[in-house]
Amino acid sequence: MAPLFIPVAPPGLMAKIIGQFKDNIAAGRLQKGDKLPGERQMAEMLGLSRATVREALKALEMLGLVRSSHGSGNYLADDVGDALGVPLSIMFTMEKCSLTQTFELRRGIEFSTAGLAARNVTPDAAERMMSLCRQLEESADELEKLCFDQQLHFEIALASRNSLLLVLLNACEGLIQEHIQDSRARIVRRQKTEEQINAQHRELVSAIAQHDAERAENAMLRHMRLIADNTLTNE
């Protein structure tokens, strides 16, 4: 059986260590939630000092690839998809990307998930979406509505059966929430706007449930336009 890690040498130690993590995950030698070798063992495998390995693990933890449990050790993260959020946020900050650009990215992702969801949705998934639409309209609590709204878009992305789109959507949503903490509150300040959103959600879910990809994509574009019109006005 191939060793989990092999010796590395400068330059680019961090990139080489991350590369070995990627190779191990691709080969199935490391899976979500797996416990990693102890620092001493990893140091021996990599041919590095324990201090260097410790710093590498801290960096991987900051990126969301590794989680540390005090007294228990280090583990590969249960949801490595969340790791995209931190570097993406840093990249957007360094590139001085605007909120409008972030919304444009989200619109492209949501457009794709809507079409794919219509093609791939199962009856159970469609029923979950319909249930979330009902819960959204019946709830009187704004925080609860926010959770239902986010869960609905998550279910649509999940129904697309494209895990990369789901990861990107989660990262993009995190970026938007960093800039606008009360994004949904801004959108639904007027009752008429909330009624529009509810109607758009029903139309979107109906199109997906009926496997009408073009209708679902157009419904999502209208929904994204309404969100942008009511959120980006003060950028």
- The answer to whether residues 101 and 190 belong to one domain is yes
Looking at residue 19, its pLDDT comes to: 87
Portion of the chain with pLDDT greater than 70, in percent: 83
Helix, strand, coil percentages, rounded to 5, for the chain: 70, 5, 25
Looking at residue 53, its pLDDT comes to: 92
Model confidence over 164-210: pLDDT tens digits? 888 788 777 766 665 555 556 666 565 577 889 999 999 999 999 99
In the predicted structure, residue 102 carries a pLDDT above the cut 60: yes
Looking at residue 233, its pLDDT comes to: 60
CA distances from 31 to 101, 170, 173, 223 (A): 34, 21, 26, 37
- The answer to whether residues 71 and 122 belong to one domain is no
Contact 186, 231 (CB under 8 A): yes
The owner of tokens 């993406």 is 88
| Number of domains observed in the structure of the chain | 2
- The answer to whether residues 40 and 134 belong to one domain is no
In the predicted structure, residue 48 carries a pLDDT above the cut 90: yes
Q: Where does residue 51 rank: exposed (0-12), middle (13-18), buried (19+ CB within 10 A)?
A: exposed
- The answer to whether residues 125 and 172 belong to one domain is yes
pTM of the model: 0.66
Question: Of the candidates 78, 98, 129, which is a domain's last residue?
Answer: 78
Looking at residue 189, its pLDDT comes to: 60
Looking at residues 54-79, what average pLDDT do you find? 85
- The answer to whether residues 101 and 53 belong to one domain is no
Q: Please tell me the least confidently modeled range out of 83-92, 97-106, 208-217, 219-228.
A: 83-92
Mean pLDDT of the residues in the chain? 84
In the predicted structure, residue 235 carries a pLDDT above the cut 60: no
Q: What is the CATH number of the domain that holds 194?
A: 1.20.120.530
Model confidence over 120-178: pLDDT tens digits? 999 999 999 999 999 999 998 877 888 888 889 989 999 999 988 887 887 777 666 65
Looking at residue 118, its pLDDT comes to: 98
Q: What residues are paired with 35 via a beta bridge?
A: 75
Looking at residue 112, its pLDDT comes to: 95
Q: Who wins on pLDDT, 52 or 164?
A: 52
Which range of residues forms the domain containing residue 196?
84-231
Contact 66, 74 (CB under 8 A): yes
Question: Of the candidates 78, 106, 130, which is a domain's last residue?
Answer: 78
Residue 3's pLDDT band, with cuts at 50, 70 and 90, is confident
In the predicted structure, residue 27 carries a pLDDT above the cut 90: no
